[in-house]
Amino acid sequence: MKQPLQILLGDESKKDCLYFAKALNEIPIETKLKTVNNGGELMKYLEKHLDTPPDILFLDFNMPCKNGSQCLMEIKKDKKLKIFPVIVYSDQLHLEIADLLYDQGAHYYMPKMEYMELKFTLHRILNMFIKSDFSRPSRKKFIFNVVEA
């Protein structure tokens, strides 16, 4: 891969953003991370970069202004962003929310996790993306399970 993967992270927690950035920096895949701190900011960023969207979006479900579900619906309605890979992640893991997000077109639903698990999970997800093995899974495998990865 010649250019770094362009990663967009939507999360209001500065601590979680730093944690995510640290994990990305420690995996052997070159990445460039951009963070936004609320759903409104996320949608403005994507609108401004419609012709050059990031490669993948990690979207916190519980963001202010617009939550992850609202942002996901807007992203999937846009013709240019429709195929854009979105991984929703959250402090809580609820099957009802997972069903909703799957129906809305998210690629995966991932719980927030301890640092080593996050590092391993990011490495696994980005490897799948690089190898073009990144299609939406069946509903049964939609919740990204670090143990199975």
Is 55 contained in some domain? yes
Q: What is the pLDDT of residues 77-124, one digit of tens each?
A: 998 888 889 999 888 778 888 899 999 999 999 988 899 999 999 999
CATH number reported for the structural domain that contains residue 42 in this entry: 3.40.50.2300
148: confidence class by pLDDT, cuts 50, 70, 90: low
Instruction: For residue 129, give its domain range.
Output: 5-141
State the pLDDT at residue 149: 45
Residue 13 belongs to some domain of the structure: yes
In a domain, residue 147? The reply is: no
Task: Determine the Cα angle at 83 with ends 78 and 86, to 5°.
Answer: 95
Distance CA 98, CA 139 (A): 9
Domain presence at residue 21: yes
Q: What is the pLDDT of residues 47-56, one digit of tens each?
A: 999 888 999 9
Asked, for residue 146, whether it belongs to a domain, the answer is no
Per residue in 106-118, pLDDT (tens digit) is 999 998 889 999 9
Q: Would you state the structure tokens that stand for residue 40, as one six-digit string? A: 């409104």
pTM of the model: 0.92
Interaxial angle between packed helices 68-77 and 95-104, expressed in degrees from 0 to 180 and rounded to the nearest 10 = 20
Please indicate, yes or no, if residue 57 is contained in any of the structural domains. Answer: yes
The domain total for the chain is 1
